[in-house]
Structure 1
């Protein structure tokens, strides 16, 4: 049996086919946990076949504990464990972040987490950047070997790296059906030197012979399939999905491999992908020998032509990577975030003032100069000139005007949400920049948010901005009275 290829990811050595443990949560959803030693035996079988890397998260049932049992056996070659920390939005102090990492270490039974991947539910809440900087501090302390993120879009990946966070990876959905990661994110990864870890490559098992030429299921109880059935709908429905299956079958027969092999190989050959994550239902279905066939063939130009023709029968999953967790329609198992969060906490809250509701965000100049970040008067909301400021006065991404623009528009969106509106209510923006060379980057970041909204806009070059910022934006919005 062919052993899987390996690659370097920062200072880590990983299998290019990682074994994903998210289905442990589904197997334990009735409240019965898997026996950790027996489950670790199943992981050991993957390890013995060369699949020495495993992916999990804080909310994947007892997956971290199971992996810890394998790690305690100290198998050779060394095992690489990637886990995720997915806290609810809120303040991210050093104490909160340290507690999250220490819990991962305790459950895994390790002195250092190999790859700590951070997920954030809403970029309107700016504490995500605080959390990443705290994780970077813990990396310097030695508690984490490498830091990654999960479900970050291209724009916010750029903000993090431009702000000095040493990210090596971004874990996102990527498959024959969901090809978003081959778009803007691919170019951003190439520019920043960040690699992708791809999950969902088999769409919860839908990308297999089992579903070829079969009717659409009327009832689904498996969390994984519930989720990826929503992806099938978002990509145009069952007929287009069957077209992809038939194309993958044509390619698979040519190479004497399976549809899952072809589906996974297509993702694996994308130049910015470090590894693919293939889910396992421990003790129920092991596909070790089939997964090993990934490394016995490669796709030809003719193969790609067959698959490309099938893509034409589908549509792109909407939005950028990770949007399925942040904006409707939520492409999750439940179709919302109820399995993850009781509510989405606000980044800021409105206060009643002498002239009506307003929002302050805590930057030092709001108190010094006596102004609000945003103020609502009936249907009209006026938003003050906003810069990329974290906390009271720290400049975010000082050398990247596009990243600053993304951060600013998140702050504007948060202020509107606190006043009962949304970014879709913006009717005008005014942009002040200091360097004409930044126009393209700023405009692209602005267009990423407002491309479908099309507010009126003015952009001017000014002599300078207080504090050394590269861009400042103010805005007006109209919120319809309910």
Structure 2
């Protein structure tokens, strides 16, 4: 079990935190054996408090693990800006190397997230980062990252008895590559505890912390307060059977899942600790009857929409604010746009082929957008390695970015043409196309054809018409 420090930022809404007092509270966890702490560059003063904790008990310094995150603003980043961001965390933690640096990307249509990850891989190679992880990545893009040669060991995602998105394709990808899941939201901001069992729905105004605000939205997405109470009844029954807390049961149920390396339980340092209760988790063993009861109660909920991390990338935004206003000021255009003759707008993705052959990644005339044949090229890299599905997903990301840059959406696509050099690749390519276009179902042609350049498993061109959705 990891101790999460995200609530530091929530506490600091009331004013500055006494760092020494918070460090003492953090040290109490370490003294009890909870020596792994999860934080981020944007969790208020969490990194400074972690350093103060290590300084407070230097005899335990070698036993402490500090996991932090980098959540860059959307838009272009260079190796220098990545190095500077990691340097800030190194300085705050006063260490030569970060135990686990976890990266978050706001959207995949802007390929700058790949620039950041490749730069982080270089810092790992230099020893500035011991292990590299992701946070809030979906299954498709985790798979893409791994096929692209980035050495990722973990993905931190929401996973609970309410939110089971990570139990499907995400778990499959992790097991296939040997990647571990770090589960947060396991107690749903405290909603899966005795406090809320049998309680009336507090409504949006009846919850106080950011975590409660956020996970109440998850409850609404999963079917509402009444269904939560049914789940809480099942959790309570299992807890009473074993003589433990409901939090223990909710956490143990997730720890027992395949590919899960740990659950992250938040601490409001100096305000509300649950060290004694958390210690009981290690001895709790759920039997088949318990698992069946919990699975039935969870299965009665509506699935939380989308894949892992989608709550930060598309509606419905299951965040504390219900949108991204607390996180982002703007989403810049994925690709630069220029206006050409006749009022045509042109988007360029910067590949060497565009200048060489004199074409644009996409062109908009009126409400029509035409996207050139697109491969899994980013700069001088081939994204997705030799995996046809990962290459296809990145190609569609590029198409989406070009269309967004010209004022459209991927949902505006009405025609695609897919070219593959190897006929054996047709099914993984077609399935990836189906994952991305299964709702809009554009007209499509898939043909076997020779492609220019080495390593390319797929090329796709697309046409879109903006503002004429039916």
Q: TM-score, normalised by structure 2?
A: 0.96
* 4+ runs deviating over 3 angstroms: none
Does the 8 Å CA contact 2:75/2:331 hold for their aligned counterparts?
A: no
Following TM superposition, by how much is the alpha carbon of 1:299 offset from its aligned partner in structure 2, in angstroms? 1.5
Unaligned 5+ segments in structure 2 are none
Deviations 1:1-22 (A, max 9, x none): xxxxxxxxxxxxxxxx000000
* Alpha-carbon RMSD: 1.3
Match of 1:412 among 382, 399, 419: 399
Q: What corresponds to 1:94 in structure 2?
A: 79
Q: What corresponds to 1:12 in structure 2?
A: none
Following TM superposition, by how much is the alpha carbon of 1:457 offset from its aligned partner in structure 2, in angstroms? 1.4
Q: Distance in 1 between matches of 2:404 and 2:450?
A: 32
> Does residue 27 of structure 2 align to residue 44 of structure 1?
yes
Q: What corresponds to 1:20 in structure 2?
A: 4
Equivalenced residue count is 464
Match of 2:454 among 464, 467, 475: 467
Following TM superposition, by how much is the alpha carbon of 1:347 offset from its aligned partner in structure 2, in angstroms? 1.1
Deviations 1:285-329 (A, max 9, x none): 111111111111222111111112212321110000000001111
Match of 1:229 among 197, 216, 238: 216
Q: What corresponds to 2:464 in structure 1?
A: 477
Does the 8 Å CA contact 1:88/1:341 hold for their aligned counterparts?
A: yes
> Does residue 332 of structure 2 align to residue 345 of structure 1?
yes
Q: How does 1:267-286 map to 2 (within 5 A)?
A: 267-286=254-273
Match of 2:284 among 297, 304, 309: 297
Following TM superposition, by how much is the alpha carbon of 1:481 offset from its aligned partner in structure 2, in angstroms? 6.8
SS of structure 2 residue aligned to 1:29: helix
Q: What corresponds to 1:359 in structure 2?
A: 347
Following TM superposition, by how much is the alpha carbon of 1:249 offset from its aligned partner in structure 2, in angstroms? 0.8
Q: Distance in 1 between matches of 2:440 and 2:234?
A: 37
Q: TM-score, normalised by structure 1?
A: 0.94
Q: What corresponds to 2:50 in structure 1?
A: 67
Unaligned 5+ segments in structure 1 are 1-16
Q: Distance in 2 between matches of 1:175 and 1:454?
A: 33
Q: How does 1:115-134 map to 2 (within 5 A)?
A: 115-134=100-119
Q: Distance in 2 between matches of 1:397 and 1:407?
A: 7
Q: What corresponds to 1:192 in structure 2?
A: 177
Does the 8 Å CA contact 1:434/1:465 hold for their aligned counterparts?
A: no
Does the 8 Å CA contact 1:151/1:172 hold for their aligned counterparts?
A: yes
Deviations 1:319-366 (A, max 9, x none): 000000011111111111111111112211332111411211111111
Q: Distance in 2 between matches of 1:295 and 1:275?
A: 12
Match of 2:357 among 369, 375, 381: 369
Q: Distance in 2 between matches of 1:285 and 1:412?
A: 48
Q: Distance in 1 between matches of 2:13 and 2:284?
A: 37
